[in-house]
Amino acid sequence: MRTRPVTRYTMNKNQKPSAEAGATRSRRSNLRLTYVIGSLDRILRRRMSEALAPLGLTLAQFTALSVLEANGQASNAQLAERSFITPQSANEVMNAMANRNWISREPDPTHGRIVLLKLTDEGRAVLRECEQAVKTIEKQMLDDIGIDTATSVQTHLETFVRNLRG
């Protein structure tokens, strides 16, 4: 697939944008926001998967480790929902991570049939390595964007998530 180079231009306040620059802006503004977000999601998934592979992790494993770190512990069902995977996939991911000693499984003291998943020290160490690889991608994504803009974009994206979760 061919990609068009992005034309960057600067103008002083007395100049008018060229027809080409206006057309480029016009094409971009015609893209649906949902399309742009979906495109970003696919690019991030591919780039993160490529960055995590040399560390021996899948994107699903990285996401699960991140979720466990953020929440302290979770059931398989909670982890699946928060990691955007099915409960069956979460079970496979958890089995693989338990075999590598990245997570522990303990019975829930308040419910006999629920098993709580927690990060081990080894899992935390693996997660630290992965976060460095992912930070490189995030840094590239945010290149030439100020902190205020990045914060605003994140706030809006979080609002979109809340609105669609209902």
**Domain coverage including residue 119:** 57-165
* 66 belongs to a structural domain: yes
Question: What one-character-per-residue DSSP string does 93-143 give?
Answer: HHHHHHHTTSEEEEE-TT-TT-EEEEE-HHHHHHHHHHHHHHHHHHHHHTT
| Cβ neighbours for 32, distance < 8 A, ≥ 6 positions apart | none
Q: For residue range 64-83, what is the model confidence (pLDDT) as tens digits?
A: 999 999 988 888 888 888 88
* 20 belongs to a structural domain: no
127 or 11, which is more confident = 127
* 50 belongs to a structural domain: no
In angstroms, rounded to a whole number, what is the distance separating the alpha carbons of residues 113 and 109?
10
Task: Name the residue with tokens 């929440």.
Answer: 71
Which of 6-20, 21-35, 114-128 has the lowest average pLDDT?
6-20
Q: For residue range 30-62, what is the model confidence (pLDDT) as tens digits?
A: 789 999 999 999 999 999 999 999 999 999 999
* 13 belongs to a structural domain: no
* 27 belongs to a structural domain: no
Q: How many domains are contained in the chain?
A: 1
**Which CATH number is 104's domain given?**
1.10.10.10
Q: Which amino acid is at 116?
A: L
Average pLDDT, stretch 15-19? 48
Cα Rg, the chain, nearest whole Å: 21
Assess whether pLDDT exceeds 90 at residue 5.
no
The reported pLDDT for the residue numbered 28 is 59
* 99 belongs to a structural domain: yes
**Is the CB of residue 82 less than 8 Å from the CB of residue 74?**
yes
* 63 belongs to a structural domain: yes
**Is the CB of residue 136 less than 8 Å from the CB of residue 55?**
no
* 40 belongs to a structural domain: no
The reported pLDDT for the residue numbered 63 is 93
